[in-house]
Amino acid sequence: MATGSQELGQILPIDGIRIATISAGVRYQNRLDMVLFELAAGTRSAGVFTLNAFCAAPVVIARQSLKDSAGDVRYLLVNTGNANAGTGPQGMTDAQACCKAVADATGVDVRQVLPFSTGVIGERLPSERIVAAVPEALGALEVDSWLLAAKGIMTTDTRPKAVSRVIEHAGKRITITGITKGAGMIKPNMATMLAFVGTDAELDQTLLSSLLQSSVEQSFNRITVDGDTSTNDCCILSATGRSGVRVTEADKALFDAFSSALHELVLELAKLIIRDAEGARKFVTVDVRGGGNTRECLQVAYAIAESPLVKTALSASDPNWGRILAAIGRAGVENLDVSKIDIYLDDVAIVKQGGLAPSYREEQGQKVMNQEDITLHVELARGECRELVWTADLSEEYVRINASYRS
């Protein structure tokens, strides 16, 4: 179950990046569950990682290796079916063994191999299966394989998630392509479950990191399915430089064009997660305006987006606006003057100045709630800040998926 079109558009290869997607039997036989990215020499990579205190072993290793290598990464090794989280020292040993297998087979420093895992928490990673599959993966590396990789990193996702963007500059062309996975346990506190973005532009390490952080903040850090931040969240941006176009802040026109394209791509990936949220039938934008600062806008937006009562009403297409009002009231905004608050379903005013809008009719709200795409718009009348958060409804299918996740 998912919302919106399944059409992804053309997914473009990135010069300097080859990818292999195979079955290693991590949890299930004959299922794509291992992806290997090969990054050409000279590629720079930046990353953001989960802030969950129980972060998985691969997160610990990838974060440290990225720092130790100063972004000079050559391989990204991804497995699904097992998160290698909550596995203690053994989890670190298993993740390191997988990285070492790639390093030994390719002659690179082990710190140039970053591991990524997603799947069931608390079970030992069958590292021997991944190690045994490394030769096959190296032999299967291809340039035009992003969409297959998007399928290979799926867990409870029902569809692959991939986006490409092209920038034309001074007769040259820059390409950006990204993939992501995630459908549940989604409230990124950095990025999302897993995301990999590549570009053939050339950027220095500082600028690459800065652009990734700002892109993530307004995209992956603005979505929620169930309010749960994963133990394994990672997002990596790799720039190969093969286009021959160097992006710097000194060339403002190029910088703005690249920055805008990257932000749009990452935001689209984030929205694809919400459209494929576990059991989703609604794609919901929570638009909070008139806040005194970013923090209080997000307090209100997430109070609405993560309310089980609001989300179940959305699932039932029930215009029960009192649940939205109640969520705003408990969001924790200090000195909130409820007599100034307006609430809209799309452009239908349901609450004006803290009470039922005189013009509101139930059939108006019902018409909006019957839609697949809905905007919940709140006016706080406290300042000029605005924040957007994207979420989905909470259906019986979500409960079924998570009740039987390990079976």
Half-sphere exposure of 341 (CA within 13 A, CB side): 23
DSSP3 helix / strand / coil % (the chain, rounded to 5): 35, 25, 40
Choose among 147, 57, 74, 159: nearest CA to 109. Answer: 74
Name the one residue in this structure whose structure tokens are 């993966």.
Answer: 137
What is the C-alpha to C-alpha distance for residues 333 and 104, in angstroms, rounded to an integer? 54
What is the C-alpha to C-alpha distance for residues 257 and 259, in angstroms, rounded to an integer? 6
Choose among 379, 350, 380: nearest CA to 366. Answer: 350
Cβ partners under 8 Å of residue 96, min gap 6: 61, 110
Q: Are strands 355-356 and 373-379 parallel, antiparallel or unpaired?
A: unpaired
What b/e string do you get for 74-90 counting C-beta neighbours within 10 Å, with b at 16 or more?
A: bbbbbbbbbbbbebeee
Which one of 177, 192, 285, 391 is the catalytic residue? 192
Q: What is the CA radius of gyration of the chain?
A: 22
What is the C-alpha to C-alpha distance for residues 12 and 5, in angstroms, rounded to an integer? 19
Cβ partners under 8 Å of residue 231, min gap 6: 50, 52, 54, 55, 56, 59, 83, 85, 86, 121
CB 345 within 8 A of CB 313: no
**Six token digits for residue 22:** 């195979």
What is the C-alpha to C-alpha distance for residues 199 and 175, in angstroms, rounded to an integer? 6
Name the one residue in this structure whose structure tokens are 């990285």.
Answer: 99
Residue 186's alpha-carbon distances to 33, 79, 263, in angstroms, are 20, 18, 20
The secondary element (H helix, E strand) that includes residue 68 is: helix 57-68
Annotated active-site residue 192? The verdict is yes
User: How remote is the C-alpha of 140 from its chain's centroid?
Assistant: 27
Active site residues: 192
